[in-house]
Structure 1
Amino acid sequence: MRIEISEGVADVRLNRADKRNALDPAMFAALVRAGERLKTEPGLRAVVLSGEGPDFCAGLDFAAFQAMRSGGRITADVDLPPATGPAKATGQRAAYVWTELPVPVIAAITGHALGGGLQVALGADIRIVAADAKLSVLEIKWGLIPDMTGTQVLPELVGRDVAKELTFTGRIVSGAEAVSLGLATRVADDPRAEALELARSIAGRSPDAVRAAKRLLDLPRDHEAGFAAEQREITALIGSPNQVEAVTASFEKRAPRFTDPT
């Protein structure tokens, strides 16, 4: 992660461009630690979250899917201080820490924001996207569910029916469609430049009023119960026969052969 702070605005970038900013143990840890650092940053007024290179974040690193074939989770190896909020699992913390920041967070999305990458973006307050960006709740491709707070956050943004359609199918939507669905806030030719301009505008407002507004607008539903339910479901799925088959078929470029539940 790269963090540059100027005049109350933190410019935060996922910095693994050669891997499309994919999520590996180091990236998970960096996301959490960056967010935790910014929670107490003096004089902070707003945050812009983006990715180095053409992509925001293409989701889990392929090594994670290889580990899942034997029931493993790469996040199990991430060393972090104990969680204090409702998000307990490492992946959940990597997304939810941006919601927990006391100041507005604006995600600038170009290229791919897939699976876990999209869930990180959902932790932001505002999402500015390129019209041709590609967003997807992609976990179903791998026989999984969104387990980084997505099942709880997504319905609040797009409605329950659209959230189900996106989650059940894993279809990729453009930035323009994402705005029409409520998944993103607005389209821009240069999302990062526009996000920085918006952040500077917010930074010029009363910080007390901005923080109070975020607290009120984020008054939560029972996230703790929902996040815990996510973890029960994902734990049962990882390494299960159908989940292994989903990954294997994808790597072998063939149609999966699933077994129906009994």
Structure 2
Amino acid sequence: MSEQRVTIAVEDGVADVRLARADKMNAIDPEMFAGIVAAIAELEATPGLRAVVLSGEGRAFCAGLDMASMASGGSGIDIHTRAHGPANVVQQVAWGWRALPVPVIAAVHGVAFGGGLQIASGADVRIAAPGTRLSAMEMKWGIVPDMAGFGLWKGNVRDDVLRELVYTAREFSAEEAISFGFVTRIAENPQAEAMALARAIAGRNPHAIRAAKRLCNHEGDAASALMLESVEQAKLMRSPNQTEAVMANMQKRAPVFTD
């Protein structure tokens, strides 16, 4: 199952998740689709999970669809059935990271093309290595991005920039990607930076972190956003973990939270 295409190692509440098809630059075949969906489901059920780091083994984060593999049978994937909330199975490999209740940090290197860019875009934060190449490449093959990209890019990427990049399928650099909104920041060692960030997040009140992600994910008008803020805050105030956060700060010690 996930061992074939995706590996998961969890330590101190941080999951190190890696696309593991290095010989094909982690290109997405039917088994990779199944492996990522299974990994997301496994993480959803993992007790004590606080944060996730998502990366790719070998020379690249993900080179996008394995066109030869998909042409030889993968085109039979059902894209009409919404099997994962609002998402179909193809969209779940990207949307699932955004829907996961804990923060996800993508460490991106080499290339993130097509579906690979969309998978990275599902993360809450994207840290890229210098010189990483990215592209919304689907137009090259006469199709459109359909792995949740548009739902993930709206609000991050300026509309006219997104249109240009989708219409042309041109490559762009990690440095450009920061100004476009596809990448959060650049680091020489994105994996190490992502793990450090994940550990810092894991040291915060896990209930507050999950509430913050729900607030970040909220889509609605100002009134519903303001109401959700109040609802989430009311649940946190004077809760055991919130009290522990205050006491740990006052006593200048590391907090001990419960899940």
> Could you say which TM-score interval applies, normalised by the shorter chain?
0.7 to 0.9
1:14-29 → structure 2 map (5 Å cutoff): 14-29=19-34
Correspondence for 2:18: 13
Aligned to 2:40: 35
In the alignment, is the contact (CA less than 8 A) between 1:45 and 1:203 conserved in 2?
yes
Matching residue of 1:143:
142
Kept in 2: contact 1:155–1:162 (CA 8 A) = no
The aligned runs of 1:214-253 (5 Å cut-off) are 214-220=213-219
Contact 1:49 1:107 in 2 (8 A): yes
Give 1:162 shift: 1.0
Counterpart position of 2:127: 128
- 2:62 counterpart letter in structure 1: C
Distance (whole Å) between structure 2 residues aligned to residue 8 and residue 199 of structure 1: 9
Specify every segment of 5 or more residues in structure 2 that has no aligned partner in the other structure, as ranges. 1-5, 221-259
**CA deviations over 1:201-251 (Å, ceiling 9, x no partner):** 000011011000000010136xxxxxxxxxxxxxxxxxxxxxxxxxxxxxx
- Tell whether the 8 Å contact from 2:30 to 2:70 is kept in structure 1 after alignment: no
Q: CA deviation at 1:101?
A: 0.6
1:57 and 2:59 correspond: no
8 Å CA contact 1:24–1:74 kept in 2: the answer is no
What is the CA distance between 1:153 and its match in structure 2? Answer: 1.8
Give the aligned partner of residue 53 of structure 2.
48
Equivalent residue number for residue 77 of structure 2: 75
TM-score w.r.t. structure 2 length? 0.79
Shift of 1:45: 0.3
- Provide the rounded CA distance (Å) in 1 between the counterparts of 2:138 and 2:9: 32
Q: CA deviation at 1:84?
A: 3.8
Asked if structure 2 preserves the Cα contact closer than 8 Å seen for 1:51 and 1:57, the reply is yes
2:16 is paired with a residue whose SS is: strand
- Give the Cα–Cα distance (whole angstroms) in 1 for the partners of residues 219 and 118 of structure 2: 17
* Partners of 2:61 and 2:36 in 1: CA distance: 13
Maintained 8 Å contact 2:29/2:70: no
The answer (yes or no) to whether the contact 1:106–1:124 under 8 Å persists in 2 is yes
Residue 155 of structure 1 deviates from its aligned partner by 2.6
Name the structure 2 match of 1:173.
172
The equivalent of 2:103 in structure 1 is 104
1:28·1:91 contact (CA, 8 Å) conserved in 2?
yes
1:23-74 deviation digits (Å, cap 9, x = unpaired): 0000000001100110121000000000001100000002156359xxx715
Shift of 1:152: 2.1
Amino acid at match of 1:146: P
Amino acid of the residue matched to residue 7 of structure 1? D
The residue identity in structure 2 corresponding to 1:56 is F
Amino acid at match of 1:11: D
The answer to whether the 8 Å contact 2:111/2:134 transfers is: yes
TM-score, scaled to structure 1:
0.78
Higher Rg of the two aligned structures:
2
Q: 1:194 matched to which residue of 2? A: 193
Question: Which whole-Å CA distance do the structure 2 matches of 1:133 and 1:75 have between them?
Answer: 30
